[in-house]
């Protein structure tokens, strides 16, 4: 009888522990994305979510992963601020035994909306937490239906090579972005001119 009672107590303890841990992880994730969407990159809720050094994989969790060192003023965070980055994460599963959380992730920015990708990017994202409830590993499994930005933005880049050659070669080197505050400003100027030109062309066609 005593042994049976101990088993029951142990089960209750484990159940309570798992429920508390699950609640803790949910809360940390909610606060992290709230801080991210407010571009509060120095706030504790954001800075304490991941280890100062963590690792990221894309597609499959193979090899050592990409090392990421926390920097609240990194180029991509500057880009987020400039373009009002918005991120959502809907939890699908929490596995306390492996300290793993799986969820559906979506990101979009004003930049993506302007170039014609208002849906942004979506992925199934897995976070692994350490004993201190901080993320040390992250896996992004990008949705195969995501459109490729390079293809969407190609008409804009080709237009800019003719009409704003110096600017596009400064902000889109080697077919890639150089994300920071200054380049975000340059992109805003370029996209405003591009959209103005496209609008004028449409009006001329309508009038003819």
Report residue 19's pLDDT band, with 50, 70 and 90 as the boundaries. confident
Distance CA 21, CA 71 (A): 28
Q: Give me the mean pLDDT over the 43-55 stretch.
A: 97
Structure tokens at 189: 């100027």
Nearest to 182 by CA among 78, 98, 90, 101: 78
Could you report the per-residue pLDDT of 66-88, keeping only the tens digit for each? 999 999 999 999 999 999 999 99
**SS3 assignment, position 144:** coil
Residue 4 pLDDT exceeds 60: no
Residue 13 or residue 187, greater confidence: 187
Q: Give me the mean pLDDT over the 122-151 stretch.
A: 96
Could you report the per-residue pLDDT of 106-135, keeping only the tens digit for each? 999 999 999 999 999 999 999 999 999 999
Give 127's contacts (C-beta < 8 A, 6+ positions apart). Answer: 29, 100, 101, 103, 135, 137, 138
Q: For 3-22, give one letter per residue: b (16+ CB within 10 A) or e.
A: eeeeeeeeeeeeeeeeeeee
Nearest to 116 by CA among 108, 107, 124: 108
- pTM of structure: 0.85
The DSSP symbol for 59 reads S
Could you report the per-residue pLDDT of 156-207, keeping only the tens digit for each? 999 999 999 999 999 998 768 889 999 999 999 999 999 999 877 665 665 6
């Amino acid at each position: 009888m005593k042994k049976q009672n101990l088993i029951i107590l142990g089960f209750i303890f484990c159940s309570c522990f798992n429920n508390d841990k699950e609640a803790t992880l949910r809360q940390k994730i909610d606060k992290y994305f709230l801080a991210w969407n407010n571009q509060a990159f120095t706030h504790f809720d954001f800075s304490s979510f991941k280890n100062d050094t963590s690792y990221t994989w894309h597609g499959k969790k193979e090899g050592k992963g990409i090392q990421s060192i926390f920097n609240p003023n990194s180029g991509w965070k500057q880009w987020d601020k400039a373009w009002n980055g918005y991120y959502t994460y809907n939890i699908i599963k929490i596995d306390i035994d492996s300290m793993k959380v799986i969820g559906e992730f979506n990101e979009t920015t004003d930049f993506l909306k302007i170039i014609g990708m208002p849906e942004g990017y979506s992925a199934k994202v897995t976070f692994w937490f350490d004993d201190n409830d901080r993320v040390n590993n992250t896996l992004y499994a990008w949705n195969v239906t995501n459109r490729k930005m390079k293809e969407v933005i190609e008409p804009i880049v080709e237009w800019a090579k003719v009409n704003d050659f110096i600017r596009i070669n400064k902000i889109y080197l080697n077919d890639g972005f150089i994300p920071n505050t200054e380049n975000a400003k340059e992109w805003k100027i370029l996209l405003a001119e591009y959209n103005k030109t496209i609008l004028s062309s449409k009006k001329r066609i309508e009038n003819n």
